[in-house]
Chain A
Amino acid sequence: MSPRSVKLPAPGPLLTRGGWSAFMVALLVVCAVAPVLNLMVPKDSMFHLSDYMVGLLGKIMCYAICALAMDLIWGYTGILSLGHGLFFALGGYVMGMYLMRQIGTDGHYKSELPDFMVFLDWKELPWHWALSDSFIATVLLIVLVPGALAFVFGYFAFRSRIKGVYFSIITQALTFAAMLLFFRNETGFGGNNGFTDFKRILDIPIATQGMRMTLFVITGLTLLGFFLWAKWLVGSKFGRVLQAVRDAESRVMFCGYNPLPYKLTIWTISAVMCGVAGALYVPQVGIINPGEMSPANSIEIAIWAAVGGRATLIGPIVGAFIVNGAKSILTVSFPEYWLYFLGGLFIVVTLFMPQGVVGLVRRWRGGPQARRGPEQAPAATSAATAAARDDVPPMVAVPAEVKA
């Protein structure tokens, strides 16, 4: 291993002065500017924020939350999850169940039950829909369902010390299996079609401009709140251990730490964040179906984080906006080329931009060292990268300790 500085940086403030200013601006934009531009400014004005844009930005903010969650687990802990789409979809499905119950008897079949159950000739709600009438229970479940699944899965995986690509691949298998399960009508989640056609949330009509704006503001606040929380987490002692685990897990263990609780905690937090993002996503987009669990979606979350810059927190948010912004433009005007662009992005970012957009900006502003905040980790390096520097192929890697 290359020798690394052992000087411990002192814990700095949560955000720098400039950081706080930027944060306040973002807060203002979300809570005041956007609502005013959308609701108050007349439609024909050039400053009017269209409903389409509100929906799009709201959706992208949900994605940004996912990217943030991915950054915590991948950028800071070095664990690449290819199953985060599952947690996102689970949060979405919990919310979707509540929204389906809110339709009441206004569905196509005018029944108490959701339409798809009438269609399947079911007479009563299945047991797992028991809590879907209560909003409070729904909010709790949005946190608990992805959290519990992540906790159980993570416990077994991390206890067995599954890591690296193996972990990635089994998380991918997990979301793939869940997708197959949710595609079945018998599972009770609407099968192929999932949930759609929502009417109300908290008995308020969902398709109004006011409601859309409310959801937008809530999403924005959640994103900013999660950002601050994540910032605090990675700056804390807990966060430092995470980064140590990422860079040299064996050494962390030799220092007397058990990595399991650290990994498990951040993994669960990350899953919960994704679940919340999914729950905010569904009422804004108006549909949830098992396609959200496809492995491709989960991998896309990773590319948002990578484009923005891993282990920077702000990077993944920026990345989510860049990639999804490009997606909404390209899929409309050049649908043929979107996949070329996305595929190319995966290749270019991994080959030429290991630190993403944030890394580029830092280099442009005078080298990575100059601008690195005290709470920020050295650029994303995984244990595997360290192994690569020693020019040992990973499969037959002799542990560094043995060689030394």
Chain B
Amino acid sequence: MRPHNFPSLIRCLCLCLGMAWLLSAMPARALTADDALALVEGGVADRIDALNRLAGAPDERAAALIRAMAAREVQVHEGRVFISGADGVRDAVTGEPAELPEGAQDVMVNNRMRGALQGALAALDLIGAPPARQREAAATLQQRAFDEPDIDMLPLIERALAGELDEAARASLLMAQAAVLLDSEDEARRLEAAVKLGGARQPVVRPLLLQQIERESSEEVKAALRQSLAALERSLQRNAILAQVFSGVSLGSILLLAALGLAITYGLMGVINMAHGELIMIGAYATWLVQVAFKQWLPGWFDWYLVAAMPVAFMSSALVGAAMERSVIRFLYGRPLETLLATWGLSLVLMQGVRSLFGAQNVGVENPAWMSGSVTLLGNLTLPWNRLFIIAFAGLVLLGVAMLISRTRLGLFVRGVTQNRPIAACMGVNTARIDTYAFALGSGIAGLAGCALSQIGNVGPDLGQSYIVDSFMVVVLGGVGQIAGTVYAALGLGVLNKFIEGWAGAVLAKIAVLVFIIVFIQKRPQGIFAFKGREA
């Protein structure tokens, strides 16, 4: 039975954190009253020592007490320690139910103590936990070891290391071990730790090393620390460059996706399609609609909606594109400036149409679960899954387009019509139909781009506007009529953009790239454009 004088604040805490108690409601073994008292009374430094000692070789009662401390459920009265959990008050040493005496005081837990408790709890959690929880707990421990390296944490870490561990968790713990070893009295162990930390590739190690260099007394260890610091900095620098290259390639693949459709309609057919961005937007909206449909009718398959969205996005953009070609663009072949204006008009209509249908607000496209999160390589090089997906997707689409153009009958016809329309017509190619197919293909690829872009950015009626200038730049820079040129231009521009961004900021980088393209085109128009003959 719960005593009547049970404080209401504690009761609330008990309701919230009672689960911790359930875990520890087992027969007591070897926690002594002295241990328990050392943990709850005295100077903070002594209490932390006691805590680390207990957590290094805990029995159930000690673990329960540590958990209860972290949950602030511990009272002390005249040398007896009580835990007041959800199922009533118990004696911390025996685990037997007890009455909470009058005048029992809550055990104080200040910030420093709380930090130590968290470390200890993490160490307790490590044993026998599922891998995800292990990684989390190991990261907490590592954080704690780096923040405040304390040799007393060593038994706790070593005990955790002795158990069965997830690989990533083990790596974190080894780093934590090296960090606390820096606090050791033993010079040899410090040296060992200094060397070990050189293998760490995390930025958090840097301040730790710097701090230790300041206060290290032994020259030998100091030299090892310096060496480790240098190695660390080299690795960090290399990773920073790799990260920049990655984000450059990622941006490049986005540009490639946006420009690939344009490379067909503009590069191969010579149609200036200013509504290309809106076709991307339509693909993104199609993806959103598929997502909504999956949420509504197939929630169990939600993670795979993207697979269904791809053909839908392709088809919807391709149909809109075919309709555009049939109704407007085919009357304007050979008049590029007029095509430009008319397709701009189409883009305004499409944008306003989407705004009328779905509203002017952005719609929310959720990533499937498998695409969120990231993979970490080489220490601190973090690659988000959705970016990796886009790169792979861009590669697949590129491969598909290349195969289609070079290996299929349709591709053959498209090339034929591009190279010489009258002769192709003489050979019996229905050039008007090929025009429509080719335009629909280019539009459909824009739809696929929209499907991919919906995974990394906002989806709204203005989505296309932000890509149109960029994608034209890519096609123009890459050389009209060449898909390979488009690939080089997209990746080159992406990486260049990200590198300039590194030291000049995003906006200036964009301006610099645009100016670069303008200058480059003026310098080398022949090399860039597929002009033929003297007209160039």
Contacts and interface: CB of A to CB of B under 8 A. Distances in A.
Interface in B297-356: 328, 331-342, 344-349, 351-353, 355-356
Contact of A160 (B332, B420, B469, B522): B522
A398 to B, nearest CB: 6
Interface string A86-101: 0000000000000000
B532 interface: yes
A350 B270 contact: no
A186 to B, nearest CB: 9
B411 interface: no
B451 interface: no
A392 B425 CA distance: 12
B348 A165 contact: no
B340 A395 contact: no
Interface stretch (B63-71, B184-192, B523-531): B523-531
B522 A391 contact: no
A306 B341 contact: yes
Q: Which of A306, A345, A354, A395 has the most CB of B within 10 A?
A: A395
Contacts of B481: 395
A347 interface: yes
A129 interface: no
B178 interface: no
B286 interface: no
Contact of A350 (B332, B421, B472, B476): B332
Interface string A326-359: 0000000000100110111111011100100000
A80 interface: yes
B514 interface: yes
A165 B336 contact: yes
Contacts of B333: 388, 393
Nearest to A302: B341
B348 A342 contact: yes
Nearest to B422: A391
B418 interface: yes
A302 B340 CA distance: 11
B237 interface: no
A161 interface: yes
Interface string B505-536: 00110110011011101110100011011111
B418 A393 contact: yes
Contacts of A215: none
B337 A250 contact: no
B348 A343 contact: yes
A183 B517 CA distance: 21
A347 B345 CA distance: 6
A347 B511 contact: no
Nearest to A351: B331
Nearest to A336: B356
Contact of B420 (A346, A354, A394, A396): A396
A122 to B, nearest CB: 19
A299 B335 contact: no
Interface residues of B, number: 60
Interface in A54-88: 74, 80
Contacts of A168: 337, 340
Interface stretch (A14-22, A174-182, A220-228): A174-182
Contacts of B335: 382, 384-385, 388
Nearest to A300: B344
A114 to B, nearest CB: 22
Given A340-B352, A344-B349, A398-B533, A164 B336 contact: yes
A184 B507 contact: yes
B535 A396 contact: no
Interface size on A, as a range, is 35 or more
A165 B337 contact: yes
A176 B514 contact: yes
Contacts of A26: none
Interface string B350-376: 011101100000000000000000000
B345 A343 contact: yes
Contacts of B336: 164-165, 384, 394
Nearest to A82: B340
Contacts of B341: 299, 302-303, 306, 346, 349-350
A49 to B, nearest CB: 32
B476 A166 contact: yes
B507 A183 contact: yes
A265 B295 CA distance: 61
A177 B351 CA distance: 23
B523 A160 contact: yes
Interface in A365-392: 382, 384-385, 387-388, 391-392
Nearest to B268: A395
Nearest to A382: B337
B351 A339 contact: yes
A174 B352 CA distance: 26
A250 B534 contact: yes
A44 interface: no
Nearest to A184: B507
Contacts of A350: 332, 338-339, 341-342, 345
A173 B341 CA distance: 16
A165 B332 CA distance: 14
A398 B333 CA distance: 16
Contacts of A53: none
B337 A342 contact: no
B262 to A, nearest CB: 11
Contacts of B514: 173-174, 176-177, 180
27 contacts: A80-B340, A156-B522, A160-B525, A162-B522, A162-B525, A164-B336, A165-B337, A166-B525, A166-B529, A169-B472, A170-B517, A177-B514, A177-B518, A180-B507, A342-B348, A343-B345, A345-B345, A350-B338, A350-B341, A388-B335, A391-B334, A391-B422, A393-B269, A393-B421, A394-B334, A395-B480, A402-B534
Interface of A: 74, 80, 156-157, 159-162, 164-166, 168-170, 172-174, 176-177, 180-181, 183-184, 250, 295, 299, 302-303, 306, 336, 339-340, 342-347, 349-351, 354, 382, 384-385, 387-388, 391-399, 401-402
Given A165-B336, A393-B269, 4 more contacts: A156-B519, A173-B518, A184-B507, A302-B341
Closest 9 CB pairs of A and B: A346-B345, A388-B334, A343-B348, A343-B349, A339-B352, A177-B514, A395-B270, A343-B345, A350-B342
